[in-house]
Chain A
């Protein structure tokens, strides 16, 4: 990981100038990226739009996960808990009280941050670290799954349907099936959460967090309040992940226990960051851009294969296998993730 330069920064009482200019450059890249991706729906075929939206949801989740696990060093295997809290908050407040998803998205983020802080406090208080911490977060996510399956007010295993509105509505975040807004909204949300994480990572608190990740005892001996900065990081991470969940509900108009708290959600949150490069700003985005469309691209290729692959047509399930093989290959050949590895090569 980026051990060398982060620990050097951490000792400094204030973030050095290089970090400031680094942040400025990152904001610039973000703006350029946003401008480019804004026009994507115009060139994308209509059928690819759901994939693009799903990729953006992945990306938001991964950015959230990356803050806690990549920068904070607290490896979470239970981000479904925070995703699900966001998803259910929107669904519940909308169906029970008719509250606009824009508002309940923020409520969900705050709620999720609270839940995350509570869980992390309990884990850290009892000095769970590494795989024990990961297992504990996983256990919490499973617990949430069981609670959702049994909770009458969340409709138990049936989940909650968001009623379809007869017309488009900005307030209720509902548009025509193929409306570009369904793409632009998560793109905007993603840009915001990336900007937030750039700001945070370069801030004093963020620098302390990375110092704690690299060596908690050393950081503590320098007077850094370890628990405090860890919990701030967790809160931010959970809030971001909840936003992904909130948008998920609004786009798919349905959320059930499996969709919100299922094991696959936790995996979907961490895979883009691991593949793309943990502890980097752009890693989760690169990872999501690769993983989001990958299964779709392979499935499409198998549906209409080029002549020499024609015998594969209709062999269902192969896309999943190819997906898995690619995943393993990336992990084996690019241990620092796609972005991390390329950046290191570049620097050499």
Chain B
């Protein structure tokens, strides 16, 4: 028995050796003139899929910047990405951030989850190293008065607010009036804050939020009850906020009941504008509207990056990965502008940036306010049409005409 185990072990080790020879040596050495950027994402655990994509997005940005000659104002200094794996947990994220900073990272990007981002932001603040948040929506992260955290995407409350505005504008453009909506959202900080902001804005615009239906993100396996509950007030529109699996269920439940409503409208929905959603939901996806931050489908630069990303990694480049790419660009622009790799000077440079031609559909250049929030971050509305996600509103970003009412 022992012998058999030993020989098995020997075979495994031998295989390791053979494979190692065939793959050849990687280059891990960092020269003195490379500038390190730390990336903290969930690379293992339940969110490894999206975390991996985001890490790849950041990596591609580094390669592109290096290929274009590095940081000009620093004599063509090259960038290097060092990975941190948060494993989806706040304390691992924190120790990874500390590790990356002590390994020499002059800035961090990350982290996808709000609670992990909170912890990493406090590390960044204490270590005086800038953190550029690619994805993390919670308002609270930037309300701590931190000086070293910057966020590119809109925060939860601004998404709820602009979600309401876009809805009214779309209705006006389609000669419709929206009087009442029902709102289905996930419990917790994310769903709650988007809902509150939407409600406040919508009521100012003459829309009644007739029903609020919440659900727990855990053990959620069927949305029929919630949708039926939402329909009891005969709303014109059902508004939805949540993550991919639960919003998929909502879409399916709506399809099954085929109610008489004008639209299903996601705000900051994790599903409705994900490229795998039309396939997963099938017919149920048809016509669904989604207000979210999104990579700019009308930008040639974004299209080029997406094509190269897919060719390289064999997967579609979701918006979150585009945000990671964008976050690295923000840091590179800060290095270029400030002509210094010192974290404190880098922070000052980033806070004064005005980055034209963002890769996301924003209403202006990337500029940070005193909290570190991108002032021009905005949402656009997408719609599933013939199994494809199209940008439909505002018109400047439209890739297809808006269909409203959506004709479920």
Contact = CB atoms under 8 A, between A and B. Distances in A.
B311 interface: no
B25 A311 contact: no
A252 B89 CA distance: 12
B87 interface: yes
A108 B25 CA distance: 53
B44 interface: yes
A163 interface: yes
A299 B146 CA distance: 30
Given A50-B94, A50-B95, A308 B16 contact: yes
Q: Chain A interface residue count: which class?
A: 35 or more
Interface stretch (A154-162, A190-198, A211-219, A339-347): A154-162
Most buried by B among A304, A307, A308, A316: A316
Contact of A310 (B25, B94, B192): B25
B188 A157 contact: yes
B232 interface: no
Given A149-B188, A307-B20, A319-B44, A177 B138 contact: no
A204 interface: no
A176 B126 contact: yes
B45 interface: yes
B144 A164 contact: yes
Contact of B119 (A46, A47, A254): A254
Contact of B115 (A163, A178, A254): A254
A156 B44 contact: no
B23 A320 contact: no
B87 A320 contact: yes
Given A157-B188, A303-B83, A178 B44 contact: no
B118 interface: yes
A163 B26 contact: no
Given A254-B115, A307-B25, A316-B43, A299 B94 contact: no
Interface string B216-243: 0000000000000000000000000000
Nearest to A321: B44
A159 B119 CA distance: 12
Contacts of B115: 159, 254, 256, 258-259
B118 A254 contact: yes
A47 to B, nearest CB: 4
Contact of B102 (A47, A264, A319): A47
Q: Chain B interface residue count: which class?
A: 35 or more
Contacts of B144: 161, 163-164
A307 B146 CA distance: 42
A50 B99 contact: yes
Interface in A131-164: 149, 156-159, 161, 163-164
A178 B83 contact: no
Contact of A309 (B16, B48, B118, B140): B16
A103 to B, nearest CB: 23
Given A46-B102, A307-B20, A259 B90 contact: yes
Given A159-B115, A161-B140, A177-B126, A316 B85 contact: yes
B274 interface: no
A42 to B, nearest CB: 15
Nearest to A309: B16
29 contacts: A47-B98, A47-B102, A50-B98, A54-B95, A156-B188, A156-B189, A157-B187, A158-B138, A158-B140, A158-B188, A159-B118, A161-B118, A164-B146, A178-B98, A252-B91, A252-B119, A254-B115, A258-B90, A259-B115, A304-B28, A307-B20, A308-B13, A308-B17, A308-B20, A311-B16, A313-B26, A316-B85, A317-B48, A320-B44
- Please list the 3 inter-chain residue pairs (A to B) with the smallest Cβ-Cβ separation, ordered nearest first: A50-B95, A316-B43, A157-B188
Given A51-B95, A177-B127, A252-B91, 13 more contacts: A46-B102, A158-B188, A159-B115, A161-B140, A163-B144, A253-B119, A254-B90, A256-B90, A264-B89, A296-B95, A311-B23, A316-B43, A317-B45
Interface of B: 13, 16-17, 19-20, 23, 25-26, 28, 43-45, 48, 51-52, 83, 85, 87, 89-91, 94-95, 98-99, 102-103, 115, 118-119, 122-123, 125-127, 138, 140, 144, 146, 187-189, 192
